[in-house]
Each structure stands twice: as C-alpha cells, then as structure tokens.
C-alpha cells in the first residue's frame, strides 16, 4: 500500500511538471510607468521560500521606487489570501503586462517563456534564486529548464551567500525572525525531544526515507530515545518508525516552540544549505545536516556532518552527551550572525538594498 501511494504521487508530480514546462504566458497590455512585474508559477501554502521572495521584492521595489504587479502563471482561489499572508506589497495581475521597467522571476519554469516575450518587448530581467534548481532533477527535461535560467537574466538575486553564480549577483544573508526563533529563558521549557527530524515525504530533496532509516538506526542503538518527526501530515501514514508525529505545524510560532523543546534538529536538503538549521540554532537546538556530496559551497562548519547512517547515529548520540548543547548551538548562531551569513529579519530590507547597490 505504501509503495502504491508513493508511485501515485510520483505519477501526479510528473503530470504536473509536464504541464508547467509547456505553459503559455497570458500576455496582456503594456505596463504603466514605474512598474516591476514579479512572476510566480504558483502560490503554495506554508512556503518559506515564497515568504522570503516577498521580503526581497518588497525591499527591491521600495529601493527602486517601483510598484509591484504579481503575475501568477497557475492561479488558485487562495491567491489573494496567500499574497496577504506572505506579505507581498503587490497587486495581482490577471495577465502579464508587457514593457515593464523590470521583470523578476522566481522559478526556472520561466527560463524559456520570458526570454521569448522579452525578444518582442525588451526590458530588464532579474532572477531570484534560492536553490541550485537543476539539482532537483539530475536526469530530466526539468534539468534543462533549471540550468537554462542561469544564462538569461541581466542579474541574479541570491538568497544565501553560499551560492556561486555566473554574471552579476547580489548575495543576500538568510533572515531570521528573533520574535519567533529564540531560546527560552533558563528552565522555562523542558527539552523533551532528543532528536527532531524535518520529515516531508512530498519533497524528495528532504530525503524522508533516509530520515526514517537514521531514526531507526538511532532507536536500535538507544531504544529509549525521544524522537519526533514534523513537517507533513503524510509522515504518520507513510512511515513505520516508532517516533512521535507532530505533523504539519499550524504556525511559525508553533514551529519555534517545538525547536525550543528539542536538543538536536536533523534536516536534509540536497539543493541548498537551507534556513532550517539556522532557525534550529537560534532556538538553542543543535543542528545536524547530513552532508551528501553536494557542491563544496553547501558545506557549513558546525552544521553539516558527513558519514554513513551508522556514523551519523554515533555523532548524534555523542552530541546528546554534551550538557551544554544549547549554549553551543547559540554560540554557533552568533558566529554565523557575525560572519554576515545571517541577519535579523528587521535588518533584511537594508541588506537587500546594500546587496542590490553592488550590482
């Protein structure tokens, strides 16, 4: 039954991908002066990436003195609510305005369709990139599209200083909201979760199966270990690991609360270093991100750990013996702040402007 469900998911994802790559832009009339158009393929719920895109384009528009038109290629009934939730200071455009002052893409999906439009209506094009998108699809048509987006834009806006990109690039720090991600006052909350896993089967880059195998390896070595999975409602149905299932948490505040209950936080990501480990350490939860022969720039000292499942298990069990684990996590967080790799949420707008001015 589990294999059937997973195969059905893969088939549905393939069908959706084919539709997205064969899309046609809904081209409308000419944009008004002073317009910046942001292109999004789909507004997904509970997307940290889209929340970050909103912060970036809002700061960019303010700096340039532009108004934002948000073009959504695959519109949904929830778009207005999600636009408000993510904080886009934009009007939704039912069709794509031509001859705008600036086009900002947020997905490789537009890697071929937008250049065709710009050939007829020349304009500036910037691309916000948060992952090495081609790493999602190493052998597929989508690899071609994801790689192509790196040769089209006039400039890139990179979410994360870890990237190495061709051409002109504004490198941004990861923003962390201290109102949500912070350590508890001494003795305020018991850390009753030994190891917290970000487990999301619907995102292959998050390596859900390896998370399950690592959890089982840990439990075999120490049966009394308190392990919890969070991130998806599918976890309980698709896994057999003897863990607590927290599911998809209802809010960012609830997420911060869970991090403050946890001693070690494990998260995989194969396409970028991810913001999750930094949010873990801001809450005093020591991050462990298994390193999987990714590009060298992915490797972050104190966060990434290389090794087999057995070696990763041994590393985690050894770290759990440290009585000052929370202090170490907070010290690591401070170090990345000092390096400029991170910034506080309230400083992010200024960081965007400073990075854009280097282009």
Spatial contact of 259 and 280, defined as CB atoms under 8 Å apart: yes
122 within domain boundaries: yes
Pairing verdict, β 193-198 and 286-290: unpaired
Q: Does residue 55 sit within a domain? A: yes
Looking at the structure, tell me whether residues 54 and 77 fall in a common domain: yes
Q: What whole-number distance in Å separates Cα of residue 354 and Cα of residue 340?
A: 12
In this structure, the answer to whether residues 155 and 246 fall within a common structural domain is: no
In the structure, how many helices (H) and strands (E) does the chain have? 12, 17
* 142-153 per-position pLDDT tens digit: 777 778 888 889
Q: Are residues 111 and 226 in the same domain?
A: no
CATH of the domain at 246: 3.40.50.2000
Q: Are 266 and 284 within one domain?
A: yes
Mean per-residue pLDDT, 143-171: 84
Question: Residue 155's domain is classified under what CATH number?
Answer: 3.40.50.11090
Structural domain contains residue 248: yes
Instruction: Please indicate, yes or no, if residue 2 is contained in any of the structural domains.
Output: no
Residue the block writes with tokens 């064969």: 22
Tell me if 5 is assigned to some domain. no
The encoded tokens of residue 152 equal 């089209």
- Please indicate, yes or no, whether residues 144 and 271 belong to a single structural domain of this protein: no
For residues 203 and 236, membership in a common domain is answered with yes
In this structure, are 125 and 162 located in the same domain?
A: yes
Tell me: do 213 and 126 sit in the same domain. no
Q: What is the mean pLDDT of residues 189-211?
A: 87
Q: Are residues 351 and 329 in the same domain?
A: no
Over residues 78-87, mean pLDDT: 96
Q: Outline where 283-324 has alpha helix (H).
A: 309-319
**186 confidence band (pLDDT: 50, 70, 90):** low
121 shares its domain with 235: no
Q: Tell whether 148 is covered by a domain.
A: yes
Residue among 260, 192, 175, 177 at smallest CA distance from 226: 192
| Better-scored residue on pLDDT, 196 or 273 | 196
CA-to-CA separations, 192 to 18, 251, 267, 278, in angstroms, rounded? 44, 20, 19, 20
Extract the tokens encoding 320.
């759990």
Residues present in the chain in total = 359
Indicate the range of 100-104, 216-220, 268-272, 273-277 predicted with least confidence: 268-272
First to last CA, the chain: 53
Residue 217, helix vs strand vs coil: helix
Enclosing domain of residue 119: 19-173+347-356
Q: What is the DSSP code string of 95-118?
A: SEEES-SEEEE-SGGGTTHHHHHH
Together in a domain, 141 and 266: no
User: Which pLDDT belongs to residue 236?
Assistant: 79
Give the three-state DSSP class for 20: helix
Residues 352, 331 share a domain: no
Q: What does DSSP assign to residue 243?
A: -
How many separate domains does the chain show?
2
Is residue 181 a part of any domain in this protein?
Answer: no
Give the percent of the chain with pLDDT over 70.
92
* Mean pLDDT of the 340-344 span: 92
Tell me, yes or no, whether 188 lies in a domain. Answer: no
């Amino acid at each position: 039954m589990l294999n059937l469900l997973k195969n059905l998911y893969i088939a549905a994802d393939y069908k959706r991908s084919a539709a997205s790559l064969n899309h046609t832009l809904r081209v409308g009339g000419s944009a008004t002066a002073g317009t910046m158009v942001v292109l999004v393929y789909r507004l997904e719920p509970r997307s940290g990436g889209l929340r970050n895109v909103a912060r970036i384009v809002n700061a960019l528009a303010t700096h340039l003195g532009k108004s934002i038109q948000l073009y959504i290629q695959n519109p949904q009934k929830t778009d207005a609510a999600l636009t408000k939730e993510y904080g886009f200071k934009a009007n939704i455009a039912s069709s794509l305005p031509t001859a705008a002052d600036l086009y900002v893409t947020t997905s490789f999906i537009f890697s071929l369709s937008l250049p065709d439009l710009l050939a007829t209506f020349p304009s500036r094009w910037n691309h916000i990139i948060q992952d090495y998108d081609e790493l999602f699809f190493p052998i597929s048509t989508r690899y071609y599209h994801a790689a192509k987006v790196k040769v089209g834009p006039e400039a890139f806006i990179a979410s994360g200083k870890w990237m190495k990109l061709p051409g002109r690039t504004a490198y941004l720090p990861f923003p962390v909201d201290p109102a949500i991600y912070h350590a508890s006052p001494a003795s305020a909350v018991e850390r009753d979760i030994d190891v917290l896993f970000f487990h999301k089967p619907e995102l292959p880059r998050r390596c859900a199966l390896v998370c399950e195998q690592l959890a089982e390896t840990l439990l075999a070595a120490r049966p009394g270990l308190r392990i919890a999975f969070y991130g998806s409602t599918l976890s309980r149905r698709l896994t057999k690991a003897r863990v607590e299932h927290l599911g998809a948490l209802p809010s960012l505040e609830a997420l911060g609360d869970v991090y403050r209950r946890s001693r070690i936080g494990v998260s995989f990501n194969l396409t970028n270093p991810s913001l999750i480990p930094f949010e873990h350490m801001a809450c005093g939860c020591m991050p462990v991100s298994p390193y999987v022969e990714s590009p060298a720039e992915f490797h972050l000292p104190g966060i990434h750990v290389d090794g087999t499942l057995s070696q990763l298990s041994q590393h985690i069990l050894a770290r759990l013996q440290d009585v000052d684990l929370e202090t170490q996590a907070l010290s690591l967080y401070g170090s990345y702040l000092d390096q400029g790799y991170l910034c506080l949420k309230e400083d992010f707008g200024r960081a965007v402007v400073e990075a854009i001015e280097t282009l």
